[in-house]
Structure 1
């Protein structure tokens, strides 16, 4: 058989389309075929004229329909999908090679649905089976099995065709909505793609920064390891030198310890010499001061000796100035009397320090003030118990001279100073 020309195939398809259009435009619809009797299924060309369009449109994808037509006509049709569909519908209204090829393809593709439908024996049962199948997502197989079923009445076929027609409208609308949604998703995907590109670039920059920082840290680690190796090597060399010296000079360690102890003793001797020299200077100063006071006492008349003694008991200037370069700490006392305490101690040549005993000043500061003091006067009637025990414990541990005064007054402070300052023998008569 000679292979047909593709142009002839397209002409045949267009003729079929025109014939289908003329049939649709006819006023009177084609008469329905009476339902078959017995159990033989209907063939595709035996269906009503309105059934071929939904059957081919729903049951066969365009790709499969084109393959079937090309195989049946032994050529490649150049028509578009609509023209190809209309031509196939026109060919399937009669028993043609195209109709037989489509029949075989549908039976092969939907054999499972056809076998399930054979279990239905009445039109009512077939209608119920179709309603159940209509709830499923894929109705292509049930549509072909129901329309070709021997118990499918014209009324049931008309209802099935109407339902499929409406489903096609809904599917078209859904496809349009899906297309719009797809367009929106494409735009959103473009925006997200740009954002993703920016994020990827930022991630790449950050990754490069992390790699650079890691390289720098690795270089620092290598440098520190090298320094550690150099140090360990130096330490090992020094240890070897020390072992060599110890082996060459027996008792080197003990000699080094003795030399260090000797250096410490020399420093202590120097400190003792400085203290001794300072004490000699202080004794010499006190001796000269005593000689001056004795000479002044001899120059004064005997009748004025008693008033002078009375003056010494009531004047702060009569206290010998023996507190040069010494810090006197007064703990406690009334705030109004603090200037009097300061004036009295500074007249003796000392440096005045004061702590209120915990009323306003922090008790924790008392330890530092005690450490800076050389002499301590504690007025027990004006301090807290904590401050009292701190003063007593510090003076006991350090050996500092401390006088506890019960009554906070100027006279009590004078007596405390006389207690702290030893009076020379030449001035015993004045005190």
Structure 2
């Protein structure tokens, strides 16, 4: 028998009969405990680093060979066993401290059962095995329990692996869908960006067009203001031009009416053998009827009462003239009076119903132009008729 096996057989009875307060070391445990203790208590990566540190180089063995070698080295106190002992003490110091409260083997067993039920077996397994009150029977029970826990853990691991694989497949599917969704979103974002850019360009063009129109409007308004300043009383002239156009239209209508009246007065000559009876002489016209003819004459009446203006118009138009009226500065503007004086052939001035400025303007205009002007003191229709009769004599003479 080799020295290692002899030392191990000598240590086992001592370990089981130990009833002091010193905890057992890993090499003092039975060989059946080393495999589950190292497999459960130390992860493979941690075990590989421990062995590499002890051996002083990188190992070329796989995980199984490292595990088997460490289990064999823990039979005796070797450098690997010392390293495993220190790592277990460091890693599970809390569990070891908690198990110190157990004073009997039954206490240790109850604490172990509670750890198995809670699923926290790695630290409790080391704390229970190394406890001074752990007997061979409790050690065997703990090994059986940890064996079944490993089986259950393996089954759960396989189930977890299946779930994990399913989750991986589902995750891959979701990643593909996410990539497609991101592509669609990117395309939509690109389309929206292009549309926004087009709208921005259209908005800029619309703003430029509006600015151009505003500039043109401002320019036209400036030109209009300049024209209005260059041509004083432009609005009055426009009203006068409209009034002249209305008067011309009325003149055309009166000329047509006059032609119809002349045509209606042509009477065929009576036969010589049947002379027509003598017709009585026409009655003398009333004072308001002007005995003269004012064909193609424009008669301007300045002043007078507003209520007599229609009678003035009727009197002048019956004489064949074209009637125009100005109130003498009461409502109508002075510029309109100048235009009316310039367009008139004959002026009738109602001196009692006009302003002084209008009176002197009429008198000055007629004196400068040599235009016929009749001044009437009374604004009645009969006075206007006499004025027309007075003015009609030289006019009739000029016609003849």
For normalisation by structure 2, the TM-score amounts to 0.55
Which residue number in structure 2 is paired with residue 150 of structure 1?
A: 132
Determine if contact 1:246/1:252 at 8 Å carries over to the other structure: yes
Query: For the residues of structure 2 that align with 1:264 and 1:54, how far apart are their CA atoms?
Result: 126
State whether structure 2 residue 94 is matched by structure 1 residue 117.
Answer: no
With over 3 angstroms needed to count, the CA separation of the structure-2 counterparts of 1:260 and 1:54, relative to structure 1, is farther
Structure 1 residue 37, shift from structure 2 partner: 0.9
Aligned with 1:50: secondary structure? Answer: helix
Query: For the residues of structure 1 that align with 2:245 and 2:91, how far apart are their CA atoms?
Result: 112
Structure 1 residue 35, shift from structure 2 partner: 4.1
With over 3 angstroms needed to count, the CA separation of the structure-2 counterparts of 1:254 and 1:117, relative to structure 1, is farther
How is 1:20-419 mapped onto 2 (pairs within 5 angstroms)? Answer: 33-253=15-235, 255-256=237-238, 258=239, 262=243
Determine if contact 1:32/1:48 at 8 Å carries over to the other structure: no
Bigger shift: 133-142 or 168-177?
Answer: 133-142
Which residue number in structure 1 is paired with residue 300 of structure 2?
A: none
With over 3 angstroms needed to count, the CA separation of the structure-2 counterparts of 1:101 and 1:233, relative to structure 1, is same
Aligned with 1:39: secondary structure? Answer: coil
Query: For the residues of structure 1 that align with 2:128 and 2:205, how far apart are their CA atoms?
Result: 86
1:256-312 deviation per Cα after TM superposition (whole angstroms, max 9, x unaligned)? 5x3697599789989xx8xxx9xxxxxxxxxxxxxxxxxxxxxxxxxxxxxxxxxxx
Query: For the residues of structure 2 that align with 1:98 and 1:120, how far apart are their CA atoms?
Result: 29
Query: For the residues of structure 2 that align with 1:108 and 1:39, how far apart are their CA atoms?
Result: 20
Determine if contact 2:50/2:84 at 8 Å carries over to the other structure: yes
Q: How many residue pairs are counted as aligned between the two chains?
A: 246
With over 3 angstroms needed to count, the CA separation of the structure-2 counterparts of 1:81 and 1:194, relative to structure 1, is same
Structure 1 residue 187, shift from structure 2 partner: 2.1
1:376-428 deviation per Cα after TM superposition (whole angstroms, max 9, x unaligned)? xxxxxxxxxxxxxxxxxxxxxxxxxxxxxxxxxxxxxxxxxxxxxxxxxxxxx
Query: For the residues of structure 2 that align with 1:263 and 1:197, how far apart are their CA atoms?
Result: 84
1:38-70 deviation per Cα after TM superposition (whole angstroms, max 9, x unaligned)? 110011011122111111001101111111112
Structure 1 residue 123, shift from structure 2 partner: 1.9
Gaps of 5+ in 1: 1-18, 21-29, 278-431
Determine if contact 2:15/2:24 at 8 Å carries over to the other structure: no
Query: For the residues of structure 1 that align with 2:38 and 2:179, how far apart are their CA atoms?
Result: 46
Determine if contact 1:35/1:151 at 8 Å carries over to the other structure: no
Aligned with 1:121: secondary structure? Answer: coil
* Structure index of larger Rg: 2
Aligned with 1:120: secondary structure? Answer: coil
Determine if contact 1:47/1:147 at 8 Å carries over to the other structure: yes
Determine if contact 2:27/2:76 at 8 Å carries over to the other structure: yes
With over 3 angstroms needed to count, the CA separation of the structure-2 counterparts of 1:66 and 1:267, relative to structure 1, is farther
Structure 1 residue 36, shift from structure 2 partner: 1.8
Structure 1 residue 79, shift from structure 2 partner: 1.5
Structure 1 residue 102, shift from structure 2 partner: 0.7
Structure 1 residue 33, shift from structure 2 partner: 4.8
With over 3 angstroms needed to count, the CA separation of the structure-2 counterparts of 1:259 and 1:77, relative to structure 1, is farther
